[in-house]
Chains A and B, each alone.
Chain A
Amino acid sequence: MVRKDLSITFMGVKFPNPFCLSSSPVGNCYEMCAKAYDSGWGGVVFKTIGPKHYFIDEVSPRFDALTKENEPFVGFKNMEQIAEHPLEENLADLRKLKKNYPNKVLIASIMGSNEEDWETLARLVTEAGADMIELNFSCPQMTSHAMGSDVGSNPELCYKYCQAVRRGTHLPFMAKMTPNITDMCDPAIASIRGGANGISAINTIKSIINVDLDKKIGLPIVDGKSSISGYSGKAVKPVALRFIQQMRTREELKDVELSGIGGIETWEDAAEFILLGCKNLQVTTGIMQYGYRIVEDMCNGLEHYMEEQGVDHLEDLVGLANKNIIPAEELDRDYIVYPEIDNDKCVGCGRCVISCFDGAHQAMEWHEENRRPTCNHDKCVGCLLCGLVCPVGAIKPGERVLKPGRKAKNLKKMVLQTTMEKL
């Protein structure tokens, strides 16, 4: 049995493992959070608590899913706003959670509409026993424009509200960023200047996920209409990783602690966020589809990964990949990798030939007599689209050659991709 210590300290608080519920429908009340703790989650970000004067009134239905072929849930659309329970009830839940789960981490997410709100909410959740606070600057489906992602895309407001929160609490707090912005670093820097101890990213992406073709209305349909609202799930992981990387490599933010959010379902997803610099991880969509139980394989899989990597502290993996993402202009453009076709694995479907002709450089040639492809190196540019579309993993990166006229180098010493197969 693999046994590794997954504990990690984030913003000064020790988590039994880095996995947390993110502020969302999955952490809406005491019973849900208690079950999540019991299932193995290291922490909970309780669903965002708003000011007393802000009335939450939700639509029905409020979710939709993007599908692709046999995948029922590539991406997910959510129109729900922040916690709909009364403020007092939420605070009572926080108190009860802290009392019954003293060794788990309790994070209160808050959202105000002015400085006074922010300061008051920060004070109230601190008094209720939260270990840290997350400022929700990023919900894209609020019915008030003084709240949510309109705040997160405005660095001045981020700064001001962080200062207000600092006045209301001594606890560490992080600001949750919206991806609906060109450069996330600006509001992140402003938040840190305002007193935030860390940044969490990303919240959901503004989206229209599907349109009903008969009714000509976006989904979900609410009395004949729909709205733009947040998109999440596996499909947003690449967007989240990009923002994480950009913050980690920005001088003003390089030492700021990050909580990664966006499409985490497996330990592999989690490890990617960790390698790109996150010390903490948050999940919602995976839980909405499969339940809290997914944390079991996240924890166990991550322990096995630590074992394989020979590390005893999760901390040792944080940020190891940041240095390997560099500007496009700095990449080595001197060589080509040709595809290597394994004829024993090939089943003769010809998909590589179709994709190479229609989407690449017409290098993959088809032999009717034996229904097998070969690669014409005169035409091949080494893009390896063929390897990505192959349904049996029969095409992998093979022979490497220098482009004509490039300075010779030891091709064998270079670190190369070894497979194109996606499982």
Chain B
Amino acid sequence: MLKKYQQEHEARYTPRLVMEEASRCLLCLDAPCSSSCPAGTDPAKFIRSVRFKNVKGAAETVRINNLLGAICARVCPTERYCQAGCSRSGIDKPIEIGRIQRYITDFEADLDMDILEAKEGNGKKVAVIGSGPAGLTAAGELALLGYEVTIYEKEAKAGGYLRYGIPEYRLPNEVVDKEIERIVKLGVDIVLNTKVGEDVTLEELKKEYAAVVLAVGYSKGKMLPMFEGNRKVVLAVDFLKKVKDRKGNVKVPNNVLVIGGGDVAMDVVTTLKMLGAEQVTDVVYETFAEFKASKKELEGAQKEGVSIIDGYVPVSTARGGIVKFKHRYINSELKIKADLIVLAVGQVADLEKLPVELEKGEVKASGNHMGANVFFAGDIGHGEKTVVYGVKLGKEVAKAVDAYLGGK
């Protein structure tokens, strides 16, 4: 079972299979895939390169457009982005774009291709706070432009949610390491175990650096008042972090209740099953018609044998791990007793020590400039809370910082 958690669950394409999939691509005129990738990874171009036997060229396209190409290939909910408008759907089903991208980036890694080259240094220093998708992307893009970039990361290792959140079977830390290695190679310095606001203040950074990019991300799990102080309750992000940190060497009880229906919840329930929990029950606020998690992750959870109950909202708790639910639309009640309760009801930014004001979880400024020499990106920026959106906002903030600092 442990092996199941530790091994990447989606098999890699063989050269033949990737060609078969690339050959399904209609190479269409306006390529909805390329126009709907938030990160601008340009699937139409890299699929065409595979089709015309130029996998190295495909690797260049992915890498130049998306510094986290190997990560996005694995975790992106492609059904919502590039695959959503795929012309091939008019025949049968969309091209498996993520899997093709995974083949390409694996090929790049196998050959140790060194695609990126940073411009000559311009002597200007930029600090990036946080090393999640947005922070890494912003840092890498700025380094490519010639800036001297330092990332401040509160954890012992870089990667943010990529390292501590997404389970190993979907995103091995080895892949995260490799992507970070590429960014470090561009000259980015990463200062670990340093929390801005505690170990160093934002004011100090603002003085020391020509610009500061806040990319702190939603690292804290949300608590619901009725579960406050309940010893049976853990938060999803904390659970996932512990499991990934210990490479799956975590004991889980046999009967676990999970509350939540996003991709994080799917990661939790699937992980629990892989770690040996016999009965995993997931109660979801949304009904299946409104479901938030991506189809792929939902299918993964169902395949593992998770019981998913949709449309129920928790109303009260009782001693001994009992939770009562009510259906949102029909007259129905539910009572579940579990040995462990995992709350996967969303995350928030950990900003208590930083002078930043959020409204509905996002910075109140428009664009990505907070004022003075401070910029922001990632979850606290405007938009969706996905890895690919982090990459998008990271690219955008790098451009904004470059424009602010004179573009040279």
A residues neighboring B (CB under 8 Å): 1-2, 70, 265-268, 290, 293-294, 296-298, 300-301, 304, 391-393, 423
Contact = CB atoms under 8 A, between A and B. Distances in A.
27 contacts: A1-B60, A1-B64, A1-B115, A1-B116, A70-B23, A266-B52, A266-B53, A266-B54, A267-B53, A293-B48, A296-B45, A296-B48, A296-B57, A297-B48, A297-B52, A297-B54, A297-B57, A298-B52, A300-B54, A300-B56, A301-B54, A301-B56, A301-B57, A304-B57, A392-B14, A423-B16, A423-B19
Contacts of A393: 16
Given A1-B115, A265-B52, A266-B54, A300 B19 contact: no
A299 to B, nearest CB: 9
B114 to A, nearest CB: 9
A392 B45 CA distance: 27
B373 interface: no
Contacts of A392: 14, 16
B15 interface: yes
A301 B27 contact: no
B53 A268 contact: yes
Contact of B49 (A1, A70, A290, A300): A300
B64 A267 contact: no
B203 interface: no
A8 to B, nearest CB: 20
B15 A267 contact: no
B56 A304 contact: yes
B117 interface: yes
Contact of A267 (B16, B54, B116): B54
Query: Looking at A70, A265, A294, A297, which has the most chain B CB atoms within 10 Å of its CB?
Result: A297
Nearest to B114: A1
Given A294-B52, A297-B49, A393-B16, 9 more contacts: A1-B115, A265-B52, A266-B54, A296-B48, A297-B52, A300-B57, A304-B57, A392-B16, A423-B15
Contacts of A300: 49, 54, 56-57, 60
A359 B285 CA distance: 63
**Top-4 shortest CB links A-B:** A301-B54, A300-B57, A297-B52, A297-B54
A2 B53 contact: no
Contacts of B27: 290
Contacts of B15: 423
Contacts of A391: 16
Size category of the B interface is 10 to 19
Contacts of B14: 392
Contacts of B48: 293, 296-297
B126 to A, nearest CB: 24
Interface string B39-62: 000000100110011101100100
Interface string B11-22: 000111001000
B105 to A, nearest CB: 16
A266 B60 CA distance: 17
Contacts of B57: 296-297, 300-301, 304
Interface of B: 14-16, 19, 23, 27, 45, 48-49, 52-54, 56-57, 60, 64, 115-117
A345 B397 CA distance: 47
A294 B56 CA distance: 15
A301 B54 CA distance: 5
A208 B286 CA distance: 62
A297 to B, nearest CB: 4
A2 B45 CA distance: 17
A234 to B, nearest CB: 12
Contacts of A294: 52
A300 B53 CA distance: 11
B49 to A, nearest CB: 5
Nearest to A298: B52
A393 B116 CA distance: 33
A290 B52 CA distance: 11
B386 to A, nearest CB: 28
A266 B19 CA distance: 14
A195 B104 CA distance: 50
A423 B116 CA distance: 28
A304 B111 CA distance: 13
B52 A2 contact: no
A253 to B, nearest CB: 31
Contacts of B23: 70
A296 B46 CA distance: 11
Contacts of B116: 1
A231 to B, nearest CB: 22
Contacts of A268: 53
B53 A301 contact: yes
B52 A1 contact: no
B286 to A, nearest CB: 40
A391 B19 CA distance: 13
A325 B57 CA distance: 31
Residue of B23, B27, B52, B117 ringed by the most chain A CB atoms within 10 A: B52
Contacts of B45: 296
B185 to A, nearest CB: 15
Contact of B56 (A2, A70, A290, A296): A2
Nearest to A293: B48
Contact of B60 (A2, A265, A290): A2
A268 B51 CA distance: 12
A267 B117 CA distance: 25
A318 to B, nearest CB: 21
A2 B52 CA distance: 17
Contacts of A290: 27
Nearest to B57: A300
A301 B49 CA distance: 9
Contacts of A267: 52-54
Nearest to B56: A304
Contacts of B53: 266-268, 297, 301, 423
A298 B48 CA distance: 11
A415 to B, nearest CB: 23
A347 B27 CA distance: 31
A277 to B, nearest CB: 22
A357 B52 CA distance: 35
A298 B57 CA distance: 10
Contacts of A2: 56, 60
Given A293-B48, A392-B16, A423-B19, A304 B54 contact: yes
A393 B48 CA distance: 23
Most A CB atoms within 10 A — which of B15, B48, B53, B54?
B54
B100 to A, nearest CB: 15
B285 to A, nearest CB: 45
Contacts of A423: 15-16, 19, 53
Nearest to B27: A290
A380 B181 CA distance: 51
Nearest to A268: B53
Nearest to A345: B14
A393 B16 CA distance: 9
A401 B117 CA distance: 50
A296 B47 CA distance: 13
B110 to A, nearest CB: 15
A349 to B, nearest CB: 14
Most chain A beta-carbon contacts within 10 A, residue among B19, B57, B60: B57
A393 B15 CA distance: 10
Contact of A301 (B16, B52, B64, B117): B52
A266 to B, nearest CB: 5
Contacts of B49: 296-297, 300-301
